[in-house]
Amino acid sequence: MRDVIAMWPIALTGLGVTAVLAVLTWLVSLSRTDVSLVDRMWPILIAGAGCVYFVLTPAPGVRSVCMIAVAVAWALRLSLFITVRNWGHGEDRRYQEIRARNQPNFGFKSLYLIFALQVVLAWIVSAPLFVGVVAGTTVGVVASNPLGLLDGAGMAIAIFGVVFEAIGDQQMATFKSDPAHKGQVMDRGLWRYTRHPNYFGEACVWWGLWLMALSAAGWGGAWSVVSPLLMTVLLLKVSGVTLLEKDIAERRPKYREYVERTNAFVPGPPRKGTP
């Protein structure tokens, strides 16, 4: 119990640093009238909390280094991609709708409606990093466990997720860059097998990191499954698949045919017998 209590200041420091980063982003969003900046910072908030755990934990082990390396690589790649993709396009239409629904004084309201919510969610998602880094030392919640099969499987799944997401994003960016594809539906490459390879890859990252946290702390760290569960729910039901596809079939009629033959999330062969 004493060790558990001793680790809470590290967890709360991670939350505090995440909150500071979010508030700074909020201030910039006020000057630019663009709260969608939070999308660029979302992966940084998560990895930032993980880096705090790493720095404040004495003598982090190999497992900790591997987990933080994957998280930072995922965050930097995704943040840079979103920044380049959205550069010069102004506020995302999804946030414009939120802005319209919450007038007047949306600038102030966005601090708690958008940014504070992102802080809490990012902190929860960082749970496997906390468990993996803290439990990777004898000062943590449990004594250090050696690297094992779960670590190998988790690392492989997490790296696969980073690569799968990156390939999917790049394929979509290349498709959209060709004027001849305007109004068409991207159904090539990874997008032939899943309508959202980027989201599937992102979920894999956090399920993989959770396996490594489980290896570090045993069943005492199983509670960190809230991270991949939350991330999967967000990607499927909240800010991901459901939100993006809410009206896309109305704007792009061919997308309905794409939905009929292509899995939404988990990759699989295209269904036959559909238009």
Give the up-direction half-sphere exposure of residue 179: CA atoms within 13 A in the CB hemisphere.
0
* Tens digits of pLDDT across the chain (275 residues): 345 556 788 999 999 999 999 999 999 999 999 999 999 999 999 999 999 999 998 878 899 999 999 999 999 999 999 999 988 888 888 889 889 999 999 999 999 999 999 999 999 999 999 999 886 554 444 445 788 999 999 999 999 999 999 999 999 999 999 999 888 889 999 999 999 999 999 999 999 999 999 999 888 889 999 999 999 999 988 877 776 777 675 667 778 888 889 998 999 999 875 44
Angle CA(98)–CA(237)–CA(119) in degrees, nearest 5?
60
What are the C-alpha distances in Å from 213 to residues 14, 165, 174? Answer: 17, 22, 36
What pLDDT is attached to residue 2?
A: 41
User: Whole-angstrom Cα distance, residue 180 to residue 153?
Assistant: 42
212 in Cβ contact with 150 (< 8 Å): yes
Phi (first) and psi of residue 103, to 5 degrees: -90, 155
Q: Where are the alpha helices (DSSP H) in 126-217?
A: 127-134, 149-177, 197-217
234 in Cβ contact with 121 (< 8 Å): yes
Q: Which two tokens stand for residue 168?
A: 């999917």
245 in Cβ contact with 259 (< 8 Å): yes
What are the C-alpha distances in Å from 144 to residues 136, 169, 216? Answer: 5, 37, 7
Cα dihedral 258/186/78/227 (nearest 10): 10
What pLDDT is attached to residue 259?
A: 86
C-alpha 214, offset from chain centre: 20
Angle CA(72)–CA(239)–CA(37) in degrees, nearest 5?
60
What are the C-alpha distances in Å from 226 to residues 101, 171, 210? Answer: 30, 31, 9
User: Whole-angstrom Cα distance, residue 273 to residue 275?
Assistant: 7
What pLDDT is attached to residue 139?
A: 45
Cα dihedral 24/26/31/35 (nearest 10): 140
